[in-house]
Structure 1
Amino acid sequence: MSFCSRLTMLFAILMGGAVTTSWTPLLAQVPDPIAKLQADAATTRTSDWGHWGSDPDTYSSWKTHSNRLIPVYSFGMDLQSVRGENSLYRDAAAIEKLYGYLPEKTLNPNAEYFDQTDVYRLQKQAAESGKKRVILFVFDGMDWDTTRAAAIAKSGRVAYDQGRGEGLHFQDYRGTTTDFGYCVTSPHNDGTNVSVDKQIVVNPDGKVRGGYDPELGGDSPWSPIKDADYPIGKSKQNRQAYTDSASSATSLMSGIKTYNASMNVNSMGREALPIARTLQEDGFAVGVVTSVPISHATPGCAYANNVHRNDYQDLTRDLIGRPSIYHPGGLPGVDVLIGGGWGMDKDTDGAQGKNFVPGNRYLAPEDLEAIDIQNGGKYVVAQRTNGVAGTEVLSKAVEQAKTDGKRLFGFFGAQAGHLPFQTADGNYDPVVSVGNPKPAKAEVYSEADRVENVQLREMAVAAMEVLQSKNERWWLLVESGDVDWANHSNNIDNSIGAVLSGDDAFAAVVQWIEQNGGWDDTALILTADHGHYFHLVRPEALIQTLDK
């Protein structure tokens, strides 16, 4: 069976049996209660069912990250080595070693939670234990509250108010050893300045140090927050920094605490080695898949080094094995890279330093040309193509890469370079987000945007196919990056849709594993890089019934 046929059949199974190759939504046109909740709340700025931020009287009072504890799910392995009595947060010396200082009120002799850097160690343990396939699945920005909202919307019931939960594929799957825990995401510091052109850190201590105070933030993700300002770094009792996606991705990939905006560079400016490169040196094939631009914080941190997350073209150069400002001699490069960023052209970009090349913001034209096998490069290139279905483009590239023993590079995207946003009802029709002073316009996708792109589940399966064809030992990052974009917009419709889209990708990954050797040789860790600040006050409001 061809890869295209497998994708079509997989899509059919996930959607309940109806085989189609079109992006046209299969769901019947029914009232969309969650879209209405979002539109009404964004317009009036009030809501009785939920709110973003510390002010319950305002639908949106905070539009960025928080210092909440984050869920971690493991498959093919457990979390016993890092949680509970093994938590480093029970050991003052271990905390000081991790942060380089002992953050105020961070020692907790009763901590059940662990640290985000432990996710790196869990991946390392998996490989050292003999696992041949190690998968890190990151839902960017998905905290426990975001997960619960999506589970309620999908299941149609309010089934839990604490713990692992149920209703989503990754909550319910029991086809292998599975475990659940939660971790601290606090960075080393916020406010460090850097020079992109010199690749140096200017003030290593930053402005606000990290740490986690469970007395104020809660000792579990569902515990009451005693100081509403604490998770957003504004507490008058104990001010501690909340992370950005680069610092947290560095923790996940390289196992260190660092400053916000760092890409695998420690607080002093020294290089940190991500697990993908460590495993690659040991003979693993490595791959990166994302629903957002290819060199954003999480996919970039999977492999690259840079003092700042916005140096996109150089981060991509590291990923594809081209000479970069941090690695003038070039890195080996990943075996598979599939993501967004297509069509995002800029003439200038000061954040990327003096070596920015006009053209695509994430991939310099000369680098794309150099990696293409048609020009003697190492990658079969699959780009969004006018008038051609994205599934067809990707499928042909996968087959060619497998047949010829080549690497795979996939480049897709719609507005802002990400894949089209799925909404809570499974369609691709976002409604307004919170704006200032008026609601922000929703993205609108053309038929071409839908047809010419692929979906995260297709990207993930494509990556596994190519990696497995190259080596029985491989590491893969899959990022559902649009959860973060939705939560930054304070858009519950997009947020739920993004979680469900990522959950479908997880289901596809699991099905592929079960059909290709099973779990004996596979470990998968699913988590987020940080949280936001959504509060679900009246959870039954998210139950999608036709009479609403």
Structure 2
Amino acid sequence: MGDKNVILNLNEETFMEKTKGDFLRKNFLGFLGIVILLMEVIFIGCMPEPGKDDSSGSVKHIILFIGDGMELEDEIATSRYLYGDDYGLIWHNFPYQTYMSTWDVSSYNVYANYFEVPPYDEVSFDPLVGYDPSWGGIAPYPVDRTGDIPYLTGTATDSASSATAFATGFKTDSGNISWLRGDPDDGALTTIAELLRAQKGGAIGVVSTVPFSHATPAGFVSHNKSRGNYIQIAEEIISQTKPEVVIGGGHPNWCGNTYISADQLDGLRNSTEYVLVERVSGEDGGVNLLYTAQSLPLDKKLFGLFGGTGCNFEPPVPRDNPGYPGFVIESENPSLAEATESALIVLSRDEDGFFLMVESGDIDWANHANNFSQMVGTVWALEEAVIRAINFVEMPNDDIDWTNTLIIITADHSTGGLRLNDDLVLGKGDLPAQNGSSYPDGELIYLSGSHTNQLVTFYAKGRGLDLFRKYEGAWYPGTKIIDNTQVFMLMAEALGLTQ
């Protein structure tokens, strides 16, 4: 989502203090280890090793939550607003927590060009070219405050390539939707959703607060050389992949036929496969969506098409009311929580399991605009959706519980570089004075209006947590950092899939 890579400002003094010689000495050994690891990925893929790990193949249901552009400082800020505590969000209590790198081929090659090392190659790349903890930190700010700002803000992944990493286990170029780097004509990559359907017969779904054919949802259920080919992507989703559930923005009544054509919308309205729920003026979109999900015939699929400003769901607007947090909520679009529950109701009907990706996509839009209050609203929307999913898993009298379900919360990249002022801490229900994208009272600043290369957080709860630990530090020895491509590997192994 948002802009593609921003080329590094290599004239920054702090960045230039790091010499090419330092880089080459520090990273030479990384090339040796990664050859072995990547050969394993290419030739073995995600095949679990029988008897090695009792969690392999034990997961039937995966719910992957993505806070697009969400930074740790966003989580802390929202937690303070909601609870008056830095780490009070529901996922801050999850049993598995670590940090994740997000770089893509395009950002890798920016660094490789500067340091005069070979460009990205699947067999012989060095992950320290994509992200170096000695410059960016072993954890995101504010846990690690040593990160070099020009290094972190210079170049970064985009949402399309990051979604591709999650969905397929491949690094690719910015802008690619589950497609190989270099854009070969036969470059479509099989996604985790497609693998689950083909090998296990499971159901698949995508939910987003932004258009359904936008980068992140598209990355799991379509393939394209360019994320901007929205109509092509929509056609593949609707007519070829045909997920059991699609819920997102992009309704043409609010943004024209950018994300779905008139013919495609007419096709959905007259579909024999999908039941379409649309935004309707004066009607509660969440109520309509939940009712349709609950009453959906077993032979039908669910498509929810909504939208508002920017074609997205209308985000909750937090009130500045110290001590008493609250939100103004527009009801013609469903909440992300209502959309998540609707998806789970439909997907859970499949006894073979399911994969669901849920995105709070407009966190990224808020951070691009350095809009603190909007960010708080969109992170809260994600919080409520995760709570709704947990409650769904814990409902009695069904076969979905923590022995066969895995919930993951992470971000596809960081955006904005929010820095909260430790001397002017905002309390529960309190918002800063805001003048556009500036904050005159000094409670916070933003370092950028673009994506950054900062590490993001990663949380998990449920079955299969022991699978995560073998990836910790595999690319970054001495740390607990995992990479977004490894998320695909561990999900595939947890589901018992082979590539």
Q: Where on the TM-score scale, by shorter chain, does this alignment land: which range?
A: 0.5 to 0.7
Match of 1:364, as an amino acid?
S
What secondary structure sits across from 2:406 in the alignment?
strand
Cα distance in 2 for partners of 1:290, 1:122 equals: 30
1:459 aligns with 2:339: yes
Corresponding residue for residue 137 of structure 1: 65
Cα distance in 1 for partners of 2:80, 2:236 equals: 40
Cα distance in 2 for partners of 1:272, 1:97 equals: 22
1:250 aligns with 2:159: no
What secondary structure sits across from 2:179 in the alignment?
coil
Q: Please point out which of 221, 227, 237 is paired with 2:148.
A: 227
Cα distance in 1 for partners of 2:344, 2:175 equals: 29
Corresponding residue for residue 354 of structure 2: 474
Cα distance in 2 for partners of 1:245, 1:285 equals: 24
Cα distance in 1 for partners of 2:102, 2:431 equals: 41
Relative distance call for 1:253 and 1:396 in structure 2 (3 A) is: same
Q: Deviations over 1:30-60 (max 9, x none)?
A: xxxxxxxxxxxxxxxxxxxxxxxxxxxxxxx
Cα distance in 1 for partners of 2:277, 2:46 equals: 34
Q: Deviations over 1:52-98 (max 9, x none)?
A: xxxxxxxxxx999899xxxxxxxxxxxxxxxxxxxxx9953454578
Cα distance in 1 for partners of 2:164, 2:77 equals: 28
Match of 2:425, as an amino acid?
A
Corresponding residue for residue 391 of structure 1: 286
Corresponding residue for residue 204 of structure 2: 286
Corresponding residue for residue 301 of structure 1: 219
TM-superposed CA distance for 1:547, in Å, is 12
What secondary structure sits across from 2:252 in the alignment?
coil
Corresponding residue for residue 257 of structure 2: 360
Cα pair 1:388 1:452 within 8 Å, conserved: yes
TM-score (norm 2): 0.68
Cα pair 1:421 1:428 within 8 Å, conserved: no
TM-superposed CA distance for 1:376, in Å, is 4.6
Corresponding residue for residue 418 of structure 1: 312
TM-superposed CA distance for 1:99, in Å, is 8.7
Match of 1:366, as an amino acid?
D
Q: Please point out which of 242, 245, 257 is paired with 1:336.
A: 245
Relative distance call for 1:380 and 1:531 in structure 2 (3 A) is: same
Cα distance in 2 for partners of 1:149, 1:539 equals: 14
Cα pair 1:263 1:307 within 8 Å, conserved: yes
Relative distance call for 1:140 and 1:121 in structure 2 (3 A) is: farther
Corresponding residue for residue 481 of structure 2: none
Corresponding residue for residue 463 of structure 2: none
Q: Please point out which of 428, 432, 444 is paired with 1:544.
A: 428
Corresponding residue for residue 524 of structure 1: 407
Corresponding residue for residue 134 of structure 2: 215
Match of 1:247, as an amino acid?
S
1:182 aligns with 2:99: yes
TM-superposed CA distance for 1:387, in Å, is 2.6
Relative distance call for 1:333 and 1:386 in structure 2 (3 A) is: same
What secondary structure sits across from 2:339 in the alignment?
helix
State the percentage of identical aligned residues: 30
Corresponding residue for residue 182 of structure 2: 268
Cα pair 1:389 1:452 within 8 Å, conserved: yes
Relative distance call for 1:144 and 1:151 in structure 2 (3 A) is: same
Cα distance in 1 for partners of 2:192, 2:431 equals: 50
Number of matched pairs: 376
What secondary structure sits across from 1:338 in the alignment?
strand
What secondary structure sits across from 1:451 in the alignment?
coil
Relative distance call for 1:419 and 1:226 in structure 2 (3 A) is: closer
TM-superposed CA distance for 1:225, in Å, is 3.4
1:92 aligns with 2:9: no
Cα pair 1:204 1:268 within 8 Å, conserved: no
Cα pair 2:273 2:299 within 8 Å, conserved: no
What secondary structure sits across from 1:259 in the alignment?
coil
TM-score (norm 1): 0.62
What secondary structure sits across from 1:308 in the alignment?
coil
Q: Deviations over 1:148-200 (max 9, x none)?
A: 2212222213x5xxxxxx20011125xxxx200111111111499xxxxxxxx
What secondary structure sits across from 2:194 in the alignment?
helix
TM-superposed CA distance for 1:286, in Å, is 0.2
Q: Deviations over 1:502-547 (max 9, x none)?
A: 0011000000000043211101111000012111122653213689
Relative distance call for 1:138 and 1:410 in structure 2 (3 A) is: same
Cα distance in 1 for partners of 2:48, 2:391 equals: 21
- Cα RMSD after superposing both structures: 3.6
Relative distance call for 1:451 and 1:224 in structure 2 (3 A) is: closer
Relative distance call for 1:514 and 1:545 in structure 2 (3 A) is: closer
Relative distance call for 1:410 and 1:63 in structure 2 (3 A) is: closer
Relative distance call for 1:246 and 1:97 in structure 2 (3 A) is: farther
TM-superposed CA distance for 1:471, in Å, is 3.6
Match of 1:188, as an amino acid?
V
Match of 2:132, as an amino acid?
D
1:495 aligns with 2:409: no
Match of 1:384, as an amino acid?
R
Cα distance in 1 for partners of 2:152, 2:139 equals: 13
Between 507-516 and 391-400, report the one with greater CA deviation.
391-400
1:150 aligns with 2:78: yes
Cα pair 1:405 1:470 within 8 Å, conserved: no
TM-superposed CA distance for 1:147, in Å, is 1.4
